[in-house]
Structure 1
Amino acid sequence: MGIFASLNAARRNLLAILPDIATRQPMVSGRTAKRWHMVMDPGAIRRILLENIDNYPKSLVTKNLLKPAIGDSMFIAEGAHWRWQRRAAAPAFSHRNVTNLGPVMSAAAQGSLARIEEAGKHAVDMYAEMVRATFEVIGNVTFSEGSQFDPEEVHRAIDGYIDAAGRLSLFDILGMPDWVPRPGRIRTGPPVRDMKAMADQAIEARKATGPSAVPDLLDLLLEGEDPETKRKMNTSELRDNLLTFIVAGHETTALTLSWALYLCAFDQEVQGRARDEAQAVLQGRVATANDLESLPFCRMIVDEALRLYPPAGIISRTAQAHDTLCGREVRPGDTVMIPIYALHRNRILWDDPDAFRPERFSNRKEIDRYAYLPFGDGPRICIGASFALQEAVIVLATLLSRRRFHLVPGRVPKPVMILTLRPEGGVWLTSEPVG
């Protein structure tokens, strides 16, 4: 594709710029205004994300898309500024703290189940329902006890921002600096300013009132400090990282659950096996964090949904110095992409890659670590991965134990990637109670 064809395709659906050959080769290179490489080889990906990480910072396009909303948070910060933030935030996402947040996830699963039961035999957009459930979780674990934080207002701001800011401009493709205005993103300003103002108010209010009875994510971040420098986050740093967790923490999990439920409705045999497991473990109650080890097949379904429909379908980096990947020259300034959607469906790496087969994750040791990257890898692996997986298994097991889901004829969701891989048109399913 030329520049304008690439721009038009990318603005509609980033998956459109992934050539089919990317599912059959270890690396694909080309030029669209600037040189680019798509890398699907696990060894080369390991070099990008781990062995030579300083040579591959996040691309300018990624930073330009996200910085207006999440500032210089750890998601886009580089070098020492990233390292101290990561060290300060890491304790908040320890296994113990994530497990302690389980009751909030169980309550959201119970609420979602009640709404689905109330719909009876009517079709429900499970994507909208999962967004509601996961936003309830992230709101409650971020700002608890009657905060001034308005979850509905923030959710509208996030949705509007993703829709407008996530669309590539010609300036992005040409690699123009972030101080050059992107006309299509001007309208994102007011909702983002309001969202930041609300977060600032909530942080200052918590500083004044002290921690909650049961520490939530904000309390844990307020207490967090870099063990090496003893530095703590100030209000603006806290706000940028909180907004990162809010945006990423509900959108990605909602997408994972939506696609998982769609796939289970598509394959009734898989759904039945998961239901048998969930019913045997739960005995009619809601799933909890302590049930996760007893729900291995439900976890496999989540893993397989993340393989087929990874929420972050493409990782983009910009090479800083000369390097060699798969025997091919990489020059300074080249865009180096890891198209996770194509990586997860690459015929060299996966047997029958387009098939829904959760059992392929029954032995994780057989899967190359850098062939499966729903949360990235290396030092910058997603800090909230265990949080997302725990939430997804709790909600999925709870719903499958009580409802049997079916596809709605003629309403097949189309995967469309802007910032995240969303089901265009929603995921419409009907359900019925099970014994």
Structure 2
Amino acid sequence: MHPPSANVNDRLPPVHVPLATEPLGIMGSLKAARSNLLSILPEIAVRQPMVSGQTGIRWHMIMDPGAIRRVLLENVDNYPKSKATKNILRPAIGDSLFIAEGAHWRWQRRAAAPVFSQRNMLSLAPVMSAAALRAVDRVAAAGNRAVDFQDEMVRTTFDVISEVTFSGDGSFDADAVHRAIDLYIAEAGKVSLLDMLGVPDWVPRPGRVFSGKAVGKMKSVADEAIEARRKRGASDVPDLLDLLMAGEDPETAKSMNTSELRDNLLTFIVAGHETTALTLAWSLYLCAYDQDVQERARVEAQRCMSGAAPTGEEAAKMPLIRQIVDEALRLYPPAGIISRTAQAPDVLCARDIRPGDTVMIPIYALHRNHMLWDNPNAFDPSRFADKKSVDRYAYLPFGDGPRICIGASFAIQEAVIILATLLARFRFELVEGRDPDPVMILTLRPDDGVWLTAKPV
């Protein structure tokens, strides 16, 4: 357990991933990537603006905000998502917003954007608050026993996404979809040597074949729920599915068919609970790591909450809790690496980029780069007290540019509501000898959970 100290400069930093200090080669990279994708990152990536190499294919890691801006915004059409990313995700979420490119992506984005308006997000806050209170009851029932808050937050955020997606109308087998998601992430998310060597998409990847049955079940459950909703009609208070079914591209008046609805729903379900659950688990770990920050956040939550859990409006008035969430996303970004494939020649950081090169934005290394952050491995929520002081392209938990995560406001509001509700009622403490181990397969998860004790306050 880390020794207590109020000064972030006088204590060991929170847990982090040891980065590579020597070249790994193809087989070494494959072995490392299949156990923890972040372990392929070279240590110099946290001290340099760009690192290049060749492991089967030419690759470049960019940590320079100007170069990142060019990839994600200024020359975005030249850098579509990499084949490896599409190979991993397409079997589960098809050509949804996350995968689609060009005109097919643009019309879906235009049709879905109104779903995530501020008004709709505020209307979903009561669902988030209710799920947070159910989590409070489960944590209280555990008494003095240590709780795995990774599992607890996955359950809580899945409660939220199930309710806001399907209004709990009984047409959706949440448990079946949850099991399928876990299996797919565990098996299909593992990097294949065939991906690293640039082998064509049609060659089967063993893990992804294995998880195919689970994916098929997940898709059939979603299809059945969509057809049931078509017959039943929209709810008095529209949920996510109602809003998506009613959405249309304002330029073409095109709306989503059943397969497009299903692929996007599954995208939102996977992203809408997995990433927020991780953010919450890491936030609670960091609060347990720094009791001073936790106590100040508790005072803020108790002061701002007028009821048992905060409203959407109240959640927007908790700056410290929001800063804790932001800092957790900096230290443990759920998507630790963004990967793109260059389509045409370009220049980044005065270095030539060739067609077919893989261009990676290792967000984990970007967020810990010594050229961009003071004391980058330390937990210091105050670095987000003035958002204008943070370079926009040095902090990318939700990506940026036209493909910035469409559900970012949903995730932040949910994380603040749930974290504030828990902190208002419990004091969280680390369990000696059970510090979490950050491991990235598809997302950056705490291997073997986040084990904490929770004492009523």
> Structure 1 length as normaliser, TM-score?
0.99
- How far does the alpha carbon of each residue in 1:101-157 deviate from its partner, in whole angstroms, 9 at most, with x for none? 111000000000110011111100000000000000000011114232111111000
Q: 1:294 Cα deviation (Å)?
A: 1.8
Give the drift of 1:283. Answer: 5.1
One-letter amino acid of the counterpart of residue 31, structure 1: Q
> Counterpart of 2:67?
44
Which of 194, 202, 205 is 1:171 aligned to? 194
Of 382, 386, 391, which aligns to 2:409?
386
Q: Distance in 1 between matches of 2:307 and 2:260?
A: 43
Aligned match of 1:299: 322
Q: Which amino acid aligns with 1:223?
A: A
Separation (CA, whole Å) in 1 of partners of 2:309 and 2:372:
37
How far apart, in 2, do the equivalents of 1:150 and 1:190 lie? 16
The match for 1:322 among 341, 345, 366 is 345
Corresponding residue to 1:59 among 82, 104, 117: 82
Shift of 1:403: 0.3
For 1:278, the equivalent position in structure 2 comes to: 301
State the secondary structure of the residue aligned to 2:446: strand
Give the partner amino acid of 1:77: A
Closer/same/farther in 2, CA of residues 243 and 74 from structure 1, 3 Å limit = same
2: CA distance, partners of 1:141 / 1:10: 35
Question: What residue is the counterpart of 1:347 in the other structure?
Answer: 370
| Residue pair 2:437, 2:446 contacting (<8 A) in 1 also | yes
Deviations 1:201-258 (A, max 9, x none): 1001101110012100000000000000000000000000000000000000000000
Query: Aligned to 2:184, which of 140, 148, 161?
Result: 161
* Structure 2, gaps ≥5 residues long: 1-23
Counterpart of 1:421? 444
1:164-202 Cα shifts (integer Å, max 9, x gaps): 000011110011121110122211111110110010010
Structure 1 counterpart of 2:97, one-letter code:
M
Q: Which of 289, 310, 319 is the equivalent residue of 1:266?
A: 289
Q: Deviations over 1:10-34 (max 9, x none)?
A: 0000011001100000000000011
1:87–1:227 Cα contact (<8 Å) kept: yes
1:64-113 CA-to-partner distances (Å, cap 9, x unmatched) read 00000000001010000000000000010000011111110000000001
Q: Which region of structure 1 is more displaced relative to structure 2, 137-146 or 17-26?
A: 137-146
Q: SS of the counterpart of 2:225?
A: helix
Q: State how far apart, in whole Å, the 2-side matches of 1:139 and 1:45 are.
A: 35
What is the identity, as a one-letter code, of the residue corresponding to 2:166? Answer: F
Equivalent pair of 2:162/2:168 in contact (CA under 8 Å)? no
Q: Distance in 2 between matches of 1:367 and 1:138?
A: 31
Instruction: Provide Cα deviations, 1:365-396, integer angstroms capped at 9, x if missing partner.
Output: 00000000000000000000000000000000
DSSP 3-state at the match of 1:294: coil
CA distance in 2, matches of 1:69, 1:145: 23
Secondary structure at the counterpart of residue 74 of structure 1:
coil
Q: Which amino acid aligns with 1:261?
A: L
**Where in structure 2 are the equivalents of 1:204-215 lying within 5 Å?**
204-215=227-238
Structure 1 portions without partners, runs of 5+: none
Letter in 2 for 1:374: P
RMSD: 0.7
User: 1:92 and 1:284 mapped to 2: Cα distance?
Assistant: 27
CA–CA distance in 2 between the matches of 1:139 and 1:81?
27
SS at match of 2:98: coil
CA distance in 2, matches of 1:388, 1:154: 20
Q: Could you tell me how far apart the structure 2 residues matched to 1:4 and 1:185 are?
A: 20
Q: 1:253 aligns with which of 260, 276, 297?
A: 276
Distance in 1 separating the partners of 2:201 and 2:91 = 10
1:274-320 superposed Cα distances (whole Å, 9 cap, x missing partner): 00101111256211211123211000000000000000000000000
**Is the CA contact 1:284–1:401 (under 8 Å) kept in the aligned structure 2?**
no
Match of 2:15 in 1: none
Show the counterpart of 1:333.
356
| 2:58 partner SS | strand
* Corresponding position of 2:172: 149
Q: Which residue of 1 aligns with 2:4?
A: none
Greater shift in the superposed pair: 37-46 or 142-151: 142-151
Deviates further, 287-296 or 60-69: 287-296
Report the AA paired with residue 199 of structure 1. A
SS of the counterpart of 1:101?
Answer: helix
Secondary structure of the equivalent of 1:72? Answer: coil
SS of 1:37 mapped into structure 2:
strand
1:112-127 matches, within 5 Å, as 112-127=135-150
How many residues are aligned here?
434
**Residues of 1 paired with 2:315 and 2:132: CA distance?**
14
> For residue 36 of structure 1, what is the amino acid of its counterpart?
W
After TM superposition, the structure 1 = structure 2 runs for residues 201-240 of structure 1, keeping only pairs within 5 Å, are 201-240=224-263
Paired AA for residue 27 in structure 1 = M
SS at match of 1:371: coil
The aligned amino acid for 1:321 is A
Equivalent residue letter for 1:432: K
Whole-angstrom distance in 1 between the partners of 2:207 and 2:454: 40
Are the equivalent residues in 2 in contact too, given 1:343–1:372 (CA < 8 A)? yes
Contact conserved, 1:98 with 1:387, CA < 8 A, in 2?
A: yes
